[in-house]
Chain A
Amino acid sequence: QSVLTQPPSVSAAPGQKVTISCSGSSSNIGGHYVSWYQQLPGAAPKVLIYENNKQFSAVPDRFSGSVSGTSATLGITGLQTGDEADYYCAAWDRSLSALLFGGGTKLTVL
């Protein structure tokens, strides 16, 4: 059971926009940077967004991140079939002294 809460799945058509939410608390998202990871089927995760809203090297600007209070959001525009993957948010939790991952969201591009 994850302390960071993500929707299990989201879907949208090619070319459309989708957002994935990540809800936490003041001890994690509310006080520490959020990062987002993409895991394609059968592959290791890779970082998309770090420090809440910075795109990692070589990540297309179709991917964006934002934080408001104790919630974070990953946005993906111009959806492509190659974007079908599992997406995870992560943040340090100062109460637990542990890095937390969200439960993951499966993106389907219809």
Chain B
Amino acid sequence: EVQLVESGGDLVQPGGSLRLSCTASGFTFSGYDMHWVRQAAGGGLEWVSGIGHGGDTNYADSVKGRFTISRENGKNSLYLQMNSLRVGDTSVYYCTRGVPGALDVWGQGTTVTVSS
């Protein structure tokens, strides 16, 4: 079964850091682009960052310079290092698999709360 499982969400103070992880199973992780998408409570979907199967990265302007996406193919894992966190980063963060023209597999999400 193709599956993505996120972890690492927590309550953190503004200005703090957090590292999210996503573990993939059921497919050849190294062959796929991967993305992080977030959703604030009651809000819409917001793309955060993506990493190609070749390692190229892209970021939303709202997180550029603060977040870093990375992958470890040997561990079938995707990461999101989040620094200088703001209240506005509070969201459910989804790990998703990219295929041409779509995000076809989604995890269940992990919750990040930034609050003092």
Contacts and interface: CB of A to CB of B under 8 A. Distances in A.
Interface in B45-75: 45-47, 50, 58-61
B61 A98 contact: yes
Chain A interface bracket (under 10, 10 to 19, 20 to 34, 35 or more): 20 to 34
Chain B: interface size category: 20 to 34
Overall SS of chain B's interface: strand
A12 B66 CA distance: 43
Contact of B45 (A50, A96, A98, A104): A104
Contacts of B37: 45, 101
B60 A98 contact: yes
B26 interface: no
Nearest to A44: B106
A18 interface: no
Interface in A84-100: 86, 88, 90, 96-100
Contact of A90 (B61, B103, B106): B103
B14 interface: no
A45 B94 contact: yes
B44 A104 contact: yes
Interface string A31-44: 00101010100001
Nearest to A51: B101
A88 B44 contact: yes
A53 B8 CA distance: 36
Given A44-B108, A98-B59, A99-B58, 18 more contacts: A37-B103, A44-B94, A44-B106, A45-B94, A46-B106, A47-B102, A50-B101, A50-B102, A50-B104, A51-B102, A86-B44, A98-B47, A98-B61, A99-B50, A100-B47, A101-B44, A101-B46, A104-B44
